Structure 1
Amino acid sequence: MIDFIQAQKAFQNYISSYDMTIPSIRLKVVHTYKVVECCEYLCQHLHLSKEDTDLAMLIALLHDIGRFEQWMQYQSFADHKTIDHALFSSQLLFGKGLIREFISDSQYDDIIKNAIEQHNRYRIEDGFDERTLLFIHLIRDGDKLDNFRVKEEERIEDLLYVSLEQVNQESISDKIYQQFLHEQLIYAPDRQTHIDMWLSYIAFIFDLYYPCSVQYIQEYHWVERSFDRLSPVNPHVYQQYMTLKQIALDYIQKRSNNVV
């Protein structure tokens, strides 16, 4: 049995030791609760049972629990430069028994552990059964959906750690341009500039699994809103940027048209 209200209380207790005045800590707290909402949205549209909905929301609540300590230790959320935050979250929960603070029933442990560990993977590993894959896809989509809100509401300086002016003066790396042009999820270590980083966030749309996730992006115009936050000053880079914007808009429209 899953008591989500109790899990929320346990989460609040866990994060109470962190300084909420630090923008990056506050960002991850808000993100956590918004991902819970996104997963609930997906579960409703997929007509899942209460048990499955509660489990998906619990996974969402815990998926980034390692982020807080990651920031305190490294002052960075860049996994390829610090630690894999998904594995770190899993280790915190299951290596030291912290999971029992959030749910007393151990029957869901394998699903929770696998979903958390797979939520940030470039590609999902092989070998999971259909039920486990359900929750892996839910948290991966829910996490990506809220990233669009994060990228609109937070300051560029808090997201990319440089000024908006500096970002707009940069170029797009050829590898990143080609990956986006071919509707591919961008491999984080390939990014060279801050515009590359921004484009990699928008490219999350190419990895969305559920049609209702695509509809969510279209309904809230997240592609347009994300692209509109930057305006490269170099005419060539600006043209590349606008080309990729159209690629993204066409992709969302195409996916939407294929929804039965």
Structure 2
Amino acid sequence: MQRKQLQALKDWFNQYVKGFYHDDPDVQAGIRLKEEHTKRVCEKILRIGSSLNLEPEDLYLAETIALLHDIGRFKQFALYHTFNDRRSENHALLGIRELERTGVLAALTEEERKLITRSIEYHNLCTLPPDLPDRLSLLARLIRDADKLDILEMFTASLDRKNDKPEAQQISGLPDTPGYSPVLVRNLLQEQLCYYDDMKNFNDRKLLMLSWVYDINFPRSLSEIARNGYVEKIVARLPKTEEVQKVTNICRPT
């Protein structure tokens, strides 16, 4: 893949997203939220990829995957007025259908198209399929780390705002009730991922996001989590219990 092909895709992305701009301020805010998220994920994937001394072609592919990983979010929000996949449809698969419908990847090789679309397909899975080819595994892990880093950034920033109902809670649709589900704490203490099906309230969402540290793939990603204090910021908004303190000690990157 060449730099000029990446630039052409950036130009296409900008025009595609503008097609979803809306006079309704709530709709426009949702579209802009994902547009800005995409830009930050592109920056983050380049930082992680550069830390691995990747070849330019792989960096172009990685940035392309970051650029297009949430392309389905725009049509999802236009159709369903939500970013919740459970209330609508899988945004990764919707995005792949949009890429196929528009033919925007036609100038790339078949291998490049497969690497891009499979990485998009896998970016929001709970865990990656086993035994992926090396190059696909690398690119899929890069986008998963970059995406998680930006979601953690947005999530913790939302918690810090002086709102009665943080944006992160509004998007999750979970009630902001006391307590948390013991199964999530148990998973965290066993250094295992938490699962969406076990979430009952917004505190559970916070615990699930803490479990992401067990699915981070690269040292640069862990260092960014530690430097930005994401674990500590989330824990500060959880009930002050002995269990939560144990979770903090286990999850905090070193």
Q: TM-score, normalised by structure 2?
A: 0.86
Q: Secondary structure of 1:48's partner?
A: coil
1:100-147: per-residue Cα shift (whole Å, max 9, x none)? 3xx622341010011000011111113421111110111111111111
Residue 167 of structure 2: which of 153, 158, 164 is its match? Answer: 158
Partner Cα distance (1:147, 1:61) in 2: 15
Query: Aligned runs of 1:31-42 on 2, under 5 Å?
Result: 31-42=37-48
Q: Which residue of 2 aligns with 1:258?
A: none
Q: Secondary structure of 1:161's partner?
A: helix
Partner Cα distance (2:146, 2:13) in 1: 19
Residue 246 of structure 1: which of 217, 224, 249 is its match? Answer: 249
Q: Does 1:125 align with 2:129?
A: yes
Residue 210 of structure 1: which of 207, 218, 230 is its match? Answer: 218
Residue 223 of structure 1: which of 213, 231, 238 is its match? Answer: 231
Q: Which residue of 2 aligns with 1:43?
A: 49
Residue 13 of structure 1: which of 3, 15, 25 is its match? Answer: 15
Partner Cα distance (2:235, 2:155) in 1: 10
Contact 1:145 1:213 in 2 (8 A): yes
Partner Cα distance (1:157, 1:217) in 2: 21
CA, structure 1 residues 47+65, in 2 after alignment: closer, same or farther (shift >3 Å)?
same
Contact 2:231 2:248 in 1 (8 A): yes
Q: Does 1:99 align with 2:104?
A: yes
Q: Does 1:73 align with 2:75?
A: no
Q: Where has structure 1 moved over 4 Å in runs of 4 or more?
A: none
Q: Does 1:141 align with 2:138?
A: no
Contact 1:147 1:201 in 2 (8 A): no
Shift in Å, 1:185: 1.6
Contact 1:80 1:189 in 2 (8 A): no
Q: Which residue of 1 aligns with 2:116?
A: 112
Identity in percent? 28
1:216-235: per-residue Cα shift (whole Å, max 9, x none)? 2112222112333x254xx6
Q: Does 1:56 align with 2:62?
A: yes
Partner Cα distance (2:192, 2:52) in 1: 25
Contact 2:203 2:238 in 1 (8 A): no
CA, structure 1 residues 68+137, in 2 after alignment: closer, same or farther (shift >3 Å)?
same
Q: Secondary structure of 1:171's partner?
A: coil
Farther off after superposition, 178-187 or 59-68 = 178-187
In the alignment, structure 1 segments of 5+ residues that lack a partner are 254-260
CA, structure 1 residues 132+231, in 2 after alignment: closer, same or farther (shift >3 Å)?
closer
1:65-110: per-residue Cα shift (whole Å, max 9, x none)? 101121222232222332111111112112x14433xx62234101
Q: Secondary structure of 1:105's partner?
A: coil
Contact 1:148 1:202 in 2 (8 A): no
In the alignment, structure 2 segments of 5+ residues that lack a partner are none
* Corresponding letter in the other structure for 1:141: D
Q: Secondary structure of 2:78's partner?
A: helix
